[in-house]
A and B are shown apart, each in its own frame.
Chain A
Amino acid sequence: MFFRLVGRELTLAVRGGIGSLMAVVFFVLAVTLFPLGVGPELGLLSRIAPGVVWVAALLAALLSLDRLFVADHEDGSLELLMLGALPLEFVVLAKTAAHWLTTGLPLAAAAPVLAILLNMSVDGLVVLVVSLLLGTPLLSLIGAVGAALTVSLRRGGALIALLVLPLYVPVLIFGVGAVEGAVLDVGVRANLSILAGGLVGALVLGPLAAAAALRMTAE
């Protein structure tokens, strides 16, 4: 049931065509703007590369959040899912997993190419991908709580950013910290461990909070 739900979301995303790849397109475009904005000097670019890539990835993950539950809420399938045999927490987890597979994973795959364009060192590339693989599921899980809280609101999109971005700040700090640690060769273990620990915690607590928010909406 869980995997069929993930499969359904992925099928919907594939049939959505280019629209479901919007996050990656946005990611590439946003990163491209930085060399145009701050100038093409390679030393400066490689200095700001970890932060730029991470901020762009974070905003790209935020961009697709407002559709996470809204479509199912509007056509009523969310209520059917709530009545189904699968506990709502796992429904949330399945939808979040699908969200990560369609945004976070492509972002992590696209990141090395962009990092090379920004003249990042090879040591940084590996850690960047690892930190994104640990960090983007965290972004999806935290974002699911924000999306669930605002699902019944008419103008929830803007509110999601206000609710979720403060909670994204630690993810950003430790993600960038790991990459900078690799670039400056001062060690990456601590930052990656904190990201992994946060991911484990959010895997448990995020679906609980999001499911509570969805139940509140349905009452």
Chain B
Amino acid sequence: MATRATGATRRAKAGWTSIHFFANPARFLRAARAVYPWAAAATAALIAAGLVLGLYVAPPDYQQGDAYRIIFVHVPAAWMSLFVYVVIALCSAAGLVWRHPLADLVARSSAPIGAAFTLITLLSGSLWGQPMWGTWWVWDARLTSMLVLLFLYLGYIALHAAFDDPAKGARAAAILALVGVVNVPIVKFSVDWWNTLHQPATISKIDSPSIDSSMVAPLLLMAAGFMAYYLTVLIPRVRAEIARRRIRNLRLAQVSR
């Protein structure tokens, strides 16, 4: 394996110095420190505005009454659960191809957040389904594929944690994340491909959404708020991962001395 190892280190060095700006953790930490308060403030402002507009300003639905208002949590959480998975997949690809050290950390830190968003989607959808469909759960295509997404997240986290060497865990989990990408289009288009109980996408056409603008505004505000929340939670997690890696390296140096 000698030739392959030297090839890998050469690639790693090239990646460190030239291509990737934020591959330097110190530089990332400086940028993160600057962004963090803004992200936190944006989260609070956007979600507050979205809640006020969604709960008080938007009119009740002509069919579903006030129960439809759970859409303002359900749909942004569903978008985020897919978005975070795509982030993990892209970071995994970057980590595998260029050995980008920070991409691994971002992917690893994103996984529990994405799993939480998926769980929120399933739970809020279940609460919504009870009054509307008369049942907590149906085995329709979108619900099932969301559940599969949750299991993919759990498998990713478990595989990451199963390796003693975090670098190996990151690479194994990255391969799994890339294999699991096939599920993302299945979740996204399941309601269009299969004619099932779950309603089709609400915001599918930009020009003429099948929803009134007084309901679109809070939905988009909440979605932006969820995105800012993701950043707000992600940054401390990545910082903790960087600190953890440093501690590990210091310990290893201490032991080998």
> Which residues of A pack against B, CB within 8 Å?
142, 145, 149-150, 152-153, 156, 159, 162-163, 165-167, 169-170, 205, 209, 212-213, 215-219
> Are the C-beta atoms of A216 and B172 separated by less than 8 Å?
yes
The bracket for how many chain B residues form the interface is: 20 to 34
Most B Cβ at <10 Å: residue of A165, A166, A209: A166
Contact of B179 among A145, A150, A215, A219 (CB under 8 A): A145
Q: Across the two chains, which residue of chain A brings its CB closest to B183? A: A166
Evaluate whether A209 and B180 lie within 8 angstroms (CB atoms) in the complex, with A163-B155, A170-B186 already known. no
> Are the C-beta atoms of B1 and A166 separated by less than 8 Å?
no
With an 8 A cutoff between CB atoms, is B162 at the interface? Answer: yes
List 5 A-B pairs, minimum CB-CB distance, nearest first. Answer: A166-B151, A163-B155, A216-B171, A162-B155, A166-B148
Which A residues touch B71, using CB under 8 A?
none
Most A Cβ at <10 Å: residue of B145, B176, B183: B176
Tell me if A's interface is mostly helix, strand, loop or mixed: helix
Q: Mark B217-251, 1 if CB is under 8 A from A, else 0.
A: 00000000000000000000000000000000000
Q: Can you list 17 residue pairs at the A/B interface with Cβ under 8 Å? A: A149-B159, A149-B175, A152-B168, A153-B163, A156-B162, A162-B155, A163-B159, A166-B180, A167-B180, A169-B144, A209-B178, A209-B179, A213-B175, A216-B175, A218-B1, A219-B4, A219-B8
> Are the C-beta atoms of B152 and A150 separated by less than 8 Å?
no
Cα(A163)–Cα(B180), bound, Å: 9
Most B Cβ at <10 Å: residue of A149, A163, A170, A205: A163
> Are the C-beta atoms of A166 and B155 separated by less than 8 Å?
yes
Minimum CB–CB distance for B98 against chain A, Å? 15
Which A residues touch B145, using CB under 8 A?
169
Contact of A149 among B154, B176, B182 (CB under 8 A): B176
Minimum CB–CB distance for B95 against chain A, Å? 11
Q: Across the two chains, which residue of chain A brings its CB closest to B172? A: A149
Minimum CB–CB distance for B158 against chain A, Å? 6
Which A residues touch B8, using CB under 8 A?
219
Q: Which of B1-34 contact A (CB under 8 A)?
A: 1, 4-5, 8
Q: Which of B130-151 contact A (CB under 8 A)?
A: 144-145, 148, 151
